[in-house]
Chains A and B, each alone.
Chain A
């Protein structure tokens, strides 16, 4: 009762198929538990990007309202997940000379070198979303995690930078702000998902997280505990549905039903010659669909998606780093046998993502679709935990931070 008021961390994902708001509560000891979840069917998003702001705003409102009701809180600010084909990841390296006489590396030096690494040369219309510290290099010695206290003449740091087109990143922010909600920060969905489904051990050993969304597929690669690579591919479950609608000559809605009820990632020999009946409503004549065709169309699309990601990682030289294998999440992970297909294409063990690292509504939340939302909350918790001290100081710092955010975005 007399505990300091627990802090709320809300993750909001405006996805292609659903809008999902996850409310997390950050306890005094830094424990995070999920207390609420709201979702709404998304209508204004294609390929992970908003195409209809009015519809998107309404869906966000519905999802937020549901989450507020469930958690019995009032949501003021959110950590917003962003995605889209325009998001890109790249690596950069910052350098810094240690000025002090004894060559001891101080906190300031670390900040300087990170600042140098952030000064990345991007086209004017691009905005940096994340600068993720990888490893420090002191006098050519690689793989240093904490350089403070070491001595050296030169320090370098590798960072992974995720950036996107500013205007297209502004769209979801504007939509959220139009609902009188504050955006604490924007987070790349691929990073958020990986936070939700990977354990520290998996990050250390090297793992790939593939978030198979409805409109877009995001992926992130961890190795040695750091993010090595991120990427997006604007192909998702909608493409599967669209392929089925085209190939089987059924309407999109029917194709979606067929995909969910009869779809699988592999077209085994057992489906040869089998058919499924389409439920006929409105007195339409009943149609029969070849199950083998359905599976083959679906399999071709999903296989291609994995192949593109595999080729991407291959060219980045990261396929060998995945000692902990790959983890699938997002709605696409529900497709039967998708893990087998992914295993075949990627050549590493594949598991379905479980959000096991969080307390709270475990049974409800342990669904692959909510990985991003939970990851957003987790990301938010990292950012919120940092300011320690009297509550008023935290509040001022938060306000200033929010102001800073506004100024940065404006």
Chain B
């Protein structure tokens, strides 16, 4: 089946809207894309990839790709390695799938075998095709077990090297959004909804011409090549004080770690969507607060008018932070002044257009930009990157927020009593000097 994208049919020379394609990988990705199809995410094309023929058959998305139809006979794969191998084997079909798209959004729920294996491959293939690749991934709940967490973290590391940007939606954090009475299907619905919201927010940002335009180039600029892990959050508020409330909600948003991620971010994309009544003062108010919160980030903003929103104000925020301790100081000031990203970062649409026009035969295209193969990470390096992430050690950019360092606990020598049986009274080791246990300061 030939994946037909919304063809960029406009005449060459006329600025065309970048084409976007949303590809759901694996079970969760399939569900999410299904949900997006139901609620509509704008003009993006939708596609799904899975290894399970049955689920794929039930899907209403027309653009489907079954991986490993010969090998697994349409039954699911059990190992991420197998999912990866299957995707590698059918890389040409993947390439075909994301052909002609300027923006590929990979939607997946990491942790499972298909998504964990195939999503990184898809991201790499799409990127080699010249598209900007965003991965919007849900990370498993804590209760799904350690193995799935590990698989998800490994896949996330691979994705980060393969895609331009990875936007994470940790389900565990989502669970704090959901009150305890919510049923499981409803919870899943909420997660799908969040993924859809993220996609919608991104697309709206890119596609809808706004009052203050943020375009595809800006998005490229923020996320491309950063191999960043990004988080997104949306908030809505209505009423007189909506500008203040919406930011308050954003800051308290669990997906942003109560605003901590915002402080650590080095690039923030803000999309304001309001009804026709959106005032300049409100935009100013929102942006002022966000700028203050994300003081060391490059903030890119857009504002759009959506009559459907009426008097509500919706803010979608994508915060990216780079895991690698890479010097960005030199880059940031230059970037803030750049109205346009360097030409080399632009997807060259003419080539793309031409290629898309040639027949139906899926001719392999030349990559429009050089994409280095994913670096071979030694297990140690991968561990370091992952470990760094998990511990939340931000690079040098966190220096702007002076944080009180915590010294490792002082090892108090027990002197004379080092070798004797400790005297423990109500959990306190009485051999340790009292003044230390009571925190008396000797100045």
On A, residues with C-beta under 8 Å from B are: 46-47, 51, 85, 233-235, 238-239, 241-243, 245-247, 252, 290, 293, 296-297, 300-301, 303-304, 308
Contact = CB atoms under 8 A, between A and B. Distances in A.
Contacts of A296: 435, 440, 442
Interface string B388-425: 00000000000000000000000011111100110101
B415 A300 contact: no
Most central of B425, B436, B438 by chain A CB within 10 Å = B425
B435 A235 contact: no
Contact of B423 (A235, A241, A247, A303): A235
A246 B415 contact: yes
B420 A46 contact: yes
B430 A246 contact: no
Contact of A246 (B420, B421, B425, B433): B433
B430 A234 contact: yes
B442 to A, nearest CB: 5
Contact of B417 (A46, A300, A304): A46
Contacts, number: 70
B431 interface: yes
A239 B434 CA distance: 9
A300 B434 contact: yes
Contacts of B417: 46-47, 238-239, 242
A242 B430 contact: no
What 9 A-B pairs have minimum CB-CB distances, sorted nearest first? A243-B433, A234-B423, A300-B434, A301-B434, A242-B415, A300-B435, A46-B420, A304-B434, A293-B442
A242 B412 CA distance: 12
25 contacts: A47-B417, A233-B423, A233-B425, A233-B430, A234-B421, A235-B430, A238-B416, A239-B430, A239-B431, A242-B416, A242-B431, A243-B433, A246-B412, A246-B415, A290-B442, A296-B435, A297-B433, A297-B434, A300-B433, A300-B434, A300-B435, A301-B433, A301-B435, A304-B438, A308-B425
A51 B421 CA distance: 11
A234 B431 CA distance: 9
Nearest to A47: B420
A247 B433 contact: yes
The dominant DSSP class at the B interface is: loop
Given A247-B442, A252-B416, A300-B440, A85 B421 contact: yes
Contacts of B431: 239, 242
Contacts of A252: 415-416
Contacts of B414: 242
Given A243-B435, A300-B435, 4 more contacts: A47-B421, A242-B414, A247-B433, A300-B434
Most central of A85, A239, A296 by chain B CB within 10 Å = A239
A47 B423 contact: yes
A103 B442 CA distance: 70
A96 to B, nearest CB: 38
Contacts of A304: 430, 434, 438
Contacts of A303: 434
B420 A300 contact: no
A362 B204 CA distance: 99
Nearest to A236: B423
Nearest to A84: B421
Interface residues of B, number: 19
Contacts of A297: 433-435, 440, 442
Interface of B: 412-417, 420-421, 423, 425, 430-431, 433-436, 438, 440, 442
Contacts of A239: 417, 430-431, 433
Contacts of A242: 414-417, 431, 433
Contacts of B436: 246-247
A234 B416 CA distance: 13
Most central of B412, B433, B434 by chain A CB within 10 Å = B434
A47 B431 CA distance: 11
B413 A246 contact: yes
Most central of B414, B420, B433, B436 by chain A CB within 10 Å = B433
Contacts of A46: 416-417, 420
A290 B442 CA distance: 10
A46 B430 CA distance: 14
A300 B412 contact: no
Contacts of B415: 242, 245-246, 252
A301 B421 CA distance: 19
B151 to A, nearest CB: 49
A51 B417 CA distance: 12
B434 A243 contact: yes
B410 to A, nearest CB: 11
A234 B428 CA distance: 13
Nearest to A311: B426
A241 B414 CA distance: 11
Contact of A51 (B420, B433, B435): B420
A238 B416 CA distance: 8
A303 B435 CA distance: 11
A241 B434 CA distance: 12
Contacts of A51: 420
A246 B410 CA distance: 13
B359 to A, nearest CB: 84
B281 to A, nearest CB: 58
B430 A247 contact: no
Contacts of A238: 416-417
Nearest to A243: B433
B423 to A, nearest CB: 4
Contacts of A246: 412-413, 415, 433, 436
A301 B436 CA distance: 10
Contacts of B435: 243, 247, 296-297, 300-301
A290 B441 CA distance: 13
A311 to B, nearest CB: 9
A326 to B, nearest CB: 20
B322 to A, nearest CB: 45
B440 A85 contact: no
B205 to A, nearest CB: 61
Nearest to B412: A246
Contacts of B413: 246
Nearest to A290: B442
B267 to A, nearest CB: 50
A79 B417 CA distance: 29
A233 B430 CA distance: 10
A247 B423 CA distance: 19
Nearest to B425: A308
Nearest to A304: B434
B409 to A, nearest CB: 15
Nearest to B433: A243
A245 B420 CA distance: 17
Nearest to A238: B416
Contacts of A85: 421, 423
B432 to A, nearest CB: 9
A319 B434 CA distance: 24
A397 B348 CA distance: 114
